[in-house]
Amino acid sequence: MKSLMNIAGGAISLLALLLWFPASPCHAQANVSTRDVITGLNTPWEIVWGPDNWIWMTERRGVISRVNPETGEQVELVKINDVYQSGESGLLGMAMHPNFADSPFVYVAYTYLQQGDIYQKLVRYLYNGGTLVNAEILLRGIPGNTTHDGSRIVITPDRKLFMTTGDAQIQSAPQNRNSLNGKILRLNLNGAVPFDNPFYSSTELSRFVWTTGHRNAQGLWWANGRLYSSEHGPNTDDEINIIESAGNYGWPDVRGFCDKPDELQFCEDSVNVQPIHAWTPTVGVAGIDYYASDSIPEWKNHLLAVTLKESDVRVLELNNDGTKILSEQIYFDNTFGRLRDLCVSPDGRVFVCTSNRDGRGNVRQGDDRIVEIKGSGKLSVAIAKPTTDNARYKAGQEMKVTFSVAGNFIESNIFTVEISDAKGEFASPRSIESVAQNIGGIIPTSVPCDLPQGNYRLRVVSSSPHAVSPPSEFFSVSEKLKIVFVSSEEMIRNAEVVLCEGETKTFTAIGGHSQYQWSTGSTSPKIALSKPGLYTLIAREAGGCTDTATIVATVRPRPAKPTLTRNGNVMVASGANGGYQWLLNGEPIPTATGQVYIATRKGIYSVMVFNEFGCGTASDPVQILINDVESHDENSGRYTLTAKPHNGELLVTLYATTSAQTAVGTITNMDGQTMDSFTWQLQGDGEYYRSIQLRGMASGRFFLSVRVGGRILTQPFTIAR
Residue 377's beta-bridge partner residues? none
Mean pLDDT over 352-365 rounds to 94
Q: Which residues of 243-256 are buried (b: 16+ CB within 10 A; e: fewer)?
A: beeebbbbbbbbbb
- Taking residues 244-261, report their average pLDDT: 93
Q: pLDDT category, 378, cuts 50, 70, 90? A: low
Query: Could you report the per-residue pLDDT of 57-114, keeping only the tens digit for each?
Result: 999 999 999 999 999 999 999 999 999 999 999 999 999 999 999 999 999 999 999 9
Cα–Cα nearest to 281, from 345, 224, 321, 236: 236
Question: What is the rounded average pLDDT of the residues 547-566?
Answer: 89
Please give the radius of gyration of the chain, using alpha carbons only, rounded to the nearest integer.
42
With 70 as the cut, is the pLDDT of residue 632 above it? no
* Nearest C-alpha neighbor of 663 from the set 676, 682, 644, 650: 682
Burial class (CB in 10 A: 0-12, 13-18, 19+), 698: exposed
CATH topology of domain 484-556: Immunoglobulin-like (2.60.40)
Amino acid at 633: D
Give the span between the Cα atoms of 289 and 229, in whole angstroms: 10
User: What's the pLDDT at 24?
Assistant: 43
Which residue ranges make up each domain of the chain?
14-375, 382-478, 484-556, 564-628, 634-719
Tens of pLDDT along 510-525? 876 778 889 999 988 8
Q: Where do the DSSP E strands lie in 482-568?
A: 484-486, 491-492, 495-500, 505-510, 515-518, 526-529, 533-540, 546-556, 564-567
Looking at the DSSP bridge assignments, the partners of residue 230 are: 219, 240
pLDDT at 104: 97
Burial class (CB in 10 A: 0-12, 13-18, 19+), 351: buried
Report yes or no: 237 and 280 within 8 Å, Cβ to Cβ.
yes
Query: 589-601, pLDDT tens digit by residue?
Result: 877 888 888 887 7
pLDDT interval class at 34 (50, 70, 90): very high
pLDDT range class, residue 6, cuts 50, 70, 90: very low
User: What are the residue ranges of helices labelled H in 166-242?
Assistant: none
Q: Give domain 634-719's CATH number out of 3.30.530.20, 2.60.40.2550, 3.90.1150.10, 3.20.20.70.
A: 2.60.40.2550
Helix (H, G, I), strand (E, B) or coil at 636: helix
pLDDT at 324 over 50: yes
- Flag whether the pTM goes above 0.75: no
Cα angle 322-324-328, degrees, rounded to a multiple of 5: 105
pLDDT-wise least confident of 39-48, 202-211, 266-275, 305-314: 266-275
Rounded Cα distance between 535 and 493, Å, is 12
Q: Is the confidence at residue 4, as pLDDT, over 50?
A: no
Q: Which amino acid is at 82?
A: D
CATH of domain 14-375: 2.120.10.30
**Mean pLDDT taken over the chain:** 87
The predicted pLDDT at position 130 comes to 94
- Asked if pLDDT for residue 635 goes beyond 50, the answer is no
Are 473 and 455 spatial neighbours (Cβ–Cβ below 8 Å)?
no
Report the sign of the C-alpha dihedral through residues 417, 420, 426, 429, in that order. Answer: negative
Q: Per-residue confidence at 701, pLDDT binned at 50, 70, 90?
A: confident
What pLDDT sits at residue 310?
95
Q: Which residue has the higher pLDDT, 565 or 356?
A: 356
pLDDT given for residue 481 in this prediction: 66
Q: What are phi and psi of 174, to 5 degrees?
A: -60, -30
Residues β-bridged to residue 455 = 476
| Residue 542: pLDDT band with limits 50, 70, 90 | low
φ, ψ (nearest 5 deg) of residue 620: -70, 150
Q: Please say whether the dihedral angle defined by the alpha carbons of residues 199, 202, 203 and 209, taken in this order, is positive or negative.
A: positive
CA separation for the pair 399, 401 (Å, rounded): 7
pLDDT (mean) for 575-602: 84
Given a cut of 60, whether residue 656 has pLDDT beyond it is yes
pLDDT surpasses 80 at 240: yes
Residues sharing a CB contact under 8 Å with residue 647, sequence separation 6 or more, in sequence order: none
Q: How confident is the model at residue 22 (pLDDT cuts 50, 70, 90)?
A: very low
26 has pLDDT over 70: no
| Contact assessment for residue 275 and residue 256, using Cβ atoms and an 8 Å cutoff | yes
Is the pLDDT confidence value at 540 over 60? yes
Task: Say if residue 637's pLDDT is above 50.
Answer: no
Give the model's pLDDT for residue 223.
94
Of 11 and 48, the one with more pLDDT? 48
Name which of 333, 374, 352 is nearest 469 in CA terms.
333
**pLDDT tens digits, residue range 452-469?**
889 999 999 998 777 889
Which superfamily, per CATH, for 382-478?
Immunoglobulins (2.60.40.10)
Rounded to whole angstroms, the Cα distance separating 494 from 94 reads 62
Domains 14-375 and 382-478 share a fold: no
| pLDDT of the residue at 608 | 92
At residue 2 the predicted structure's pLDDT band, cuts being 50, 70 and 90, is very low
